[in-house]
């Protein structure tokens, strides 16, 4: 019995240690996004990067709030009550909505990254090595949020990026999947101008980098498989949704209905190498 109790205590200590990993810095970013149907700019998502020297978490606080609600029966009931109240009150702008869908956890010491996202009603996750971008430093400089920044360029998963980083904040990290520069990345824009991350605030913090809610609900997949599944959804959204919902006996429309999207050559995902 003593051995069992010792083992349980050891596990609890380990779990607590993981759950209590604290960030040293918190950066707010706007993340631009594009309408794949017509190439127009949509309202940017709001993301946060929590980071220390070893780990980081990039996520949407609104999305995490809703995921936290829906992770318990009580929270799910509260979520439905909020949605119903907004709908019946004719206040559709107050309907609880996710603001950005993905989470990215980086382990810099282990050179690993976990990515969580959704495709329709299905949830997926994959693990990969942190991308080793061959950054090329330039002589260009500008000031962002009061920090002197230097420009660097590099390629990542099919797109060429221009980023601005500040050595004044010695955190080798940045928004989305960026890292590997001698300072914090405060801005990143791809050559097409369709995708952009811009820091809007930065502060010291002691916030916990909370783990994923309902992580077991996410099906493991590879990055390329996930992108191909997203493309299949874009090419035939109603058909894909009906396939996903068939197990529940739900049909949401005529699967033969076509929604017109611009071709990949004109407008594509942030990653194009699939």
pLDDT band at 3 (very low <50, low <70, confident <90, very high): very low
pLDDT digits (tens, 9 = 90+) for 85-131: 888 888 878 888 889 999 999 999 999 999 999 998 899 999 999 99
pLDDT band at 247 (very low <50, low <70, confident <90, very high): low
For the record, the structure tokens of 42 come out as 């949509």
For the record, the structure tokens of 201 come out as 């605030």
pLDDT digits (tens, 9 = 90+) for 37-55: 889 999 999 999 999 999 9
pLDDT reported for residue 10: 35
For the record, the structure tokens of 29 come out as 């970013």
pLDDT reported for residue 261: 80
In whole angstroms, what is the distance from residue 244 CA to residue 242 CA? 5
Residue 64 predicted with pLDDT over 70 = yes
In whole angstroms, what is the distance from residue 35 CA to residue 252 CA? 22
Task: Choose the weakest-confidence range: 57-61, 158-162, 242-246.
Answer: 242-246
* Antiparallel, parallel or unpaired: β 219-220 and 196-204: unpaired
- Percent of the chain exceeding pLDDT 90 equals 69
Under 8 Å between Cβ of 79 and 213: no
Under 8 Å between Cβ of 271 and 194: no
The secondary structure element, H or E, covering residue 224 is helix 223-235
Task: Choose the weakest-confidence range: 32-41, 174-183, 256-265.
Answer: 256-265
For the record, the structure tokens of 103 come out as 């989470």
pLDDT reported for residue 241: 61
Q: What are phi and psi of 104, to 5 degrees?
A: -130, 120
SS3 6: helix
Residue 23 predicted with pLDDT over 90 = yes
In whole angstroms, what is the distance from residue 152 CA to residue 166 CA? 11
Angle in degrees, CA 271, 45, 109, rounded to 5: 60
For the record, the structure tokens of 99 come out as 């603001």
Q: Per DSSP, what are the bridge partners of residue 20?
A: none
pLDDT reported for residue 86: 82
Q: Enumerate residues 6+ apart whose C-beta is below 8 A from 112.
A: 106, 127, 128, 129, 130
């Amino acid at each position: 019995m003593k051995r069992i109790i010792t083992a349980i205590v050891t596990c609890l200590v380990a779990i607590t240690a993981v759950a209590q990993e604290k960030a040293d810095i918190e950066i707010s970013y706007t993340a631009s996004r594009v309408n794949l149907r017509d190439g127009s700019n949509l309202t940017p998502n709001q993301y946060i990067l929590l980071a220390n020297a070893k780990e980081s978490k990039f996520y949407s606080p609104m999305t995490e709030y809703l995921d936290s609600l829906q992770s318990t029966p009580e929270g799910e009931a509260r979520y439905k009550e909020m949605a119903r109240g907004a709908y019946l009150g004719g206040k559709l702008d107050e309907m609880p909505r996710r603001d950005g869908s993905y989470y990215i956890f980086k382990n810099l010491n282990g050179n690993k990254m976990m990515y969580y996202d959704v495709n329709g009603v299905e949830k997926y996750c994959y693990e990969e090595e942190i991308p080793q971008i061959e950054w090329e430093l330039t002589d260009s400089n500008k000031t962002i949020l009061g920090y002197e920044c230097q420009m660097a360029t590099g390629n990542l998963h099919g797109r060429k990026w221009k980023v601005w980083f500040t050595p004044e904040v010695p955190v080798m990290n940045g928004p989305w999947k960026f890292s590997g520069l001698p300072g914090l990345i405060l801005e990143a824009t791809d050559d097409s101008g369709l995708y952009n991350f811009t820091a809007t605030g930065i502060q010291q913090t002691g916030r916990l980098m909370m783990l994923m809610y309902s992580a077991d609900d996410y099906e493991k997949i590879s990055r390329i498989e996930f992108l191909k599944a997203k493309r299949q959804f874009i090419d035939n959204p109603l058909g894909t949704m009906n396939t996903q919902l068939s197990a529940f006996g739900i049909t949401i429309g005529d699967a033969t209905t076509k929604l017109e999207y611009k071709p990949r050559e004109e407008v594509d995902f942030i990653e194009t190498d699939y």
